[in-house]
Amino acid sequence: MPRYQRGQRVALVATTDPHTDLRPGDERTVRSFNPNLQQLHVSWDSGSTLSMLLDDGDEIRLLPA
């Protein structure tokens, strides 16, 4: 699993949250990453602040710098 750094750009692959309006391909900027919880805090370009729970089925991919 890559180590995510503040400021990196990532895109949504999939989420297990049935209530979100986010879709695969939506992009965001990493705010912080908690490796113990595998929780990625991000700021979505759409304005959402939904965090990714990587151990619970959420998937993202790093975008090229």
pLDDT in tens, 4-63: 999 999 999 999 998 888 899 999 999 999 999 999 999 999 888 889 999 999 999 999
Give the global pTM. 0.86
Contact 58, 1 (CB under 8 A): no
The reported pLDDT for the residue numbered 12 is 95
* Cβ atoms < 10 Å from Cβ of 52: 25
The reported pLDDT for the residue numbered 2 is 61
The reported pLDDT for the residue numbered 58 is 96
The reported pLDDT for the residue numbered 52 is 94
- Rounded CA gap, 44 and 1, in Å? 21
The reported pLDDT for the residue numbered 60 is 94
